[in-house]
Amino acid sequence: MPWFHFAQAFVKRMKQVGLTDAYGNEESTQVVMLCFLALPLLPVNHTELAFQDVRATVGADTHKNTHQSL
């Protein structure tokens, strides 16, 4: 899947689960979303570790229930 289509599907899902306002208003949500969107751009051997880093960021976030909707 080309990155554009991945990003398009991700944004669609973000809207479906109601994270549009959080993305517009919360910097922590923006960071998590942008990190997640960047994962397919990494070399394959770095993807899993980077995903674990994003998950750890969400786990440490005070708004983790919002981010776990994805």
As averages over each run of 10 residues, the pLDDT of the chain (70 residues) reads 89 91 88 92 95 87 52
Query: How many Cβ atoms from other residues are within 10 Å of residue 67's Cβ?
Result: 21
Which DSSP helix (H) or strand (E) runs through 52?
A: helix 44-60
Q: Tell me which residue of 22, 25, 24, 4 sits closest to 70, measured CA to CA.
A: 22
